[in-house]
Structure formats: C-alpha cells, structure tokens
Amino acid sequence: ADYWRALQNRIREGHVEDVYAYRRRQRFSVRYGEMLF
C-alpha cells in the first residue's frame, strides 16, 4: 500500500509516472510486437 500512496502523492505534485499492469514479458508489445512489422 505504501507504493501506491507514494505514487498518488507524486501524481498530485505534478509528476507523470509510467505504471504498467503487467510484467514486461507479458505486455502485448513484447509478446506480439514483432508480428506487427
């Protein structure tokens, strides 16, 4: 919970954070990106 609270505070202060719901290897762009080109 501390991670999310700190993240919310940073967002309130105007910082833009990248938050990913999946681990890198599970992301669509990693799994299927090579098929798109």
In the predicted model, is pLDDT for residue 1 greater than 70? yes
Q: What is the mean pLDDT of residues 3-24?
A: 84
Q: What is the pLDDT of residue 25?
A: 73
Q: What is the pLDDT of residue 28?
A: 73
In the predicted model, is pLDDT for residue 37 greater than 60? no
In the predicted model, is pLDDT for residue 14 greater than 90? yes
Q: What is the pLDDT of residue 35?
A: 64
Q: Are 7 and 17 within 8 A, CB to CB?
A: yes
pTM confidence score: 0.44
